[in-house]
Structure 1
Amino acid sequence: MNHLKKGEFYGQTNQTIHLDGLTLTDTVYTQPKVDWHYHEHAYFTFILEGLVIEGNKKEVYHCPAGTLLFHHWQDAHYNIKPDGFTRGFHVEIEKPWFDDLFLKGDKLQGNINLLNPALKLLMYKVFTETKIQDQTSSLSIQGVLLNMLSQMAEGDKSVGDKNPSWVAKINEILNDQFTDNLTLGFLSETLSIHPVHLSRDFSKYFNCSFGEYIRKLKVEKSLSLLSDKRKLLTEIAFECGFADQSHFTRCFKEINGMSPSNYRKILFH
């Protein structure tokens, strides 16, 4: 089985940035299939464009643009790339980086498909910083990654029996239907929970309000669609459930600190 060292990925490397304990790589996937292999360090894979299929010992992930995976060090997996252009962004994290910053990296085991839109939006910020590359980018990248890993560790503490069953159910509903005109009454009836209880406890488990969470889902979806140069901003706005392009631009800028058109320029820089 192949063992890939730091900064090594199958494909064509567009950009590699080495920071203290971190390696960030922008890679175009060129091989239709990559057999079982593992990497020296723990790392994130973030699909910017296209589609890749990744399998590990437990499951298989279909990964379109916007998919965010975390791989523990030396966990084996394989990749299949369907026809078409596919581009991925990788962030490798060396174990001393965890140890120096008092993070328990060994708690983040296996391969994880990260669905939380807040984590995906943070990874977009990391990617954006690699294109800006000014004197504060290194500090910003490390801070964002620490935030992500901290949220992941906190999430692990609340998995399973510690969460009421409605938490997973409402998360599934919101992720599937965030473009619909959802109401508190519909959610309450669907989950058989009193609306007061639901609205009061939602922020306890999601760290934001209903509106904030849905806006994050919409913006996160738009980020994956912006990689398609054929789509107009107006089309993307409607596809993501925004009333119009101005509303889309306003929400996007509020969350990402830049307009959708500026992000698109950075993506293809």
Structure 2
Amino acid sequence: MTDKLYKVLIVDDELLIRQGIINFINWEEEGYQIIGEASNGKEAMQIIEKSRPHIIITDIVMPEVDGIELVKSVKERYPEIEIIVLSSFEDFHYVKSTFQNGVADYILKPKLNARELLTTLNNITFRKMDPMSLKKATITIEEKLYRLLQGYQSTDNIEGYFPYGQYKLIEFFWNKPLDNLPVIQSLLTKVTDKNKKFICYTIFNSDNQLVCIGNYQVNQLAVFKQQLHDLLAEIEPGIKVVMSSTFHSIAEMKKVYEEDHQELKQYLFYLPDLPMLTYEEIPEVKSNKTQFDLNEFILLFKRRQFEGAINYLNNHVSLLTKQYDMDVFEFKSWLENIIFNISVLLDNMKYETDILESQKYQYFNEINEAFDVREALSSFYDFLAKVETLVFENIDNSPKIEKLLSYMEEHYMEHLTLSRLADHFHFNPSYISSYFSSHYREGFSEYLNNLRISKAKEMLATTRMSIATISELVGFSDQSYFCRVFKKNTGKSPSNYRKEHK
């Protein structure tokens, strides 16, 4: 990082957005300086004329002078200033027009976070800007490639660097803040040194990303992939690699990057154990038309059929993780929406949710920042585990459970089953079974049998009724089975028990 700081101007009509951006990162520590903020394009131009920022971060929809007019004015008068556009989903069609005027990049507001912003800034400053140093007399092939990728460079004087007819874009990316660039560059050198007919140039890199272009003879790709795969196994396991579809002209590079790479990285999000994925190896996505019925899930919760609700939820999550073409942001938002709904439900049901509420936004942040599906689900399932602990610890206070136990006390002699009780009290059968296992260390059948044997012991000690009659009165249709259960429970046969307690 240079000793001087890149000057940044923030333009947005929402004060909270401006303040949020300002407080996202330690600007000076990262090599940047906030030189001002403006609420519209008119205010921004006044600051630009006085302070000449290197980078402008601007919203699109603003009063007086909007972001589109601001971009146009800045690029006409100060073409060296780089611009990052902020946009909501519904404003994205406006963003496309700003690219014609030369914006450097855009960020969707729902995806705006410290990492996304810093990566975008660093991508701009790494290759496109060096205002604090003398301008280089010559432009390197890497700089030409980066400009071509951004749409600012023709293919003139570039094609001569590539003697072969096959091209692939290769992107390395990682999550942890490791010093991976030297490692990856060394790795690429090793691979290309072994394979003289595979040329590789770095296009750009940042704190968590490196993009390069490979040019090779048609029969060299398989060798390169195998060598790369072998070397990946020797280095930091958190590094992932994606390779674009094959293209045959350097002029296609920008189009291939825009169409292939985000899709490939999205697939790898759902395949955490796969270190490398090429466009030709994209797995087939099985069509899943099953929709998650949020109303049904809420109804199960309100009925305290927690196990059924959570099983229904887990089954749907399992299906979603196999929908590799599902937008990662959409997947993460879905998980967060479930967390939000469960938190509201539990609070409305008068559970003590203070701890869950205090941790809710931590879960949101962890899911937002998750590198792959495994990290996202780790946080999600941790939340669900706390929910299960909460509802099972408090289940004794549930009026329905108390009524269920009283019902069993009054109707033990009848043909009671899990299904019958579940239907009667609107519980899931597996939930009732789990309740008995967790609270009595025995299953429903054992609990019912012990209740019946307890009643039989009273009758044996206080009446002269036959064992067959008592067996039937307490709910056993088979006397021999009753005798076996009785002896297992008490260590004595019914007749011996009666003799000892008369």
Q: Name the TM tier (shorter chain).
A: 0.3 to 0.5
Q: Which has the higher helix share?
A: 2
If each structure's strand is expressed as a fraction of its own residues, which one has the higher value? 1
Q: Give the TM-score, by structure 1 length.
A: 0.38
Point out the structure with max Rg over C-alpha.
2
TM-score, L = length of structure 2: 0.21
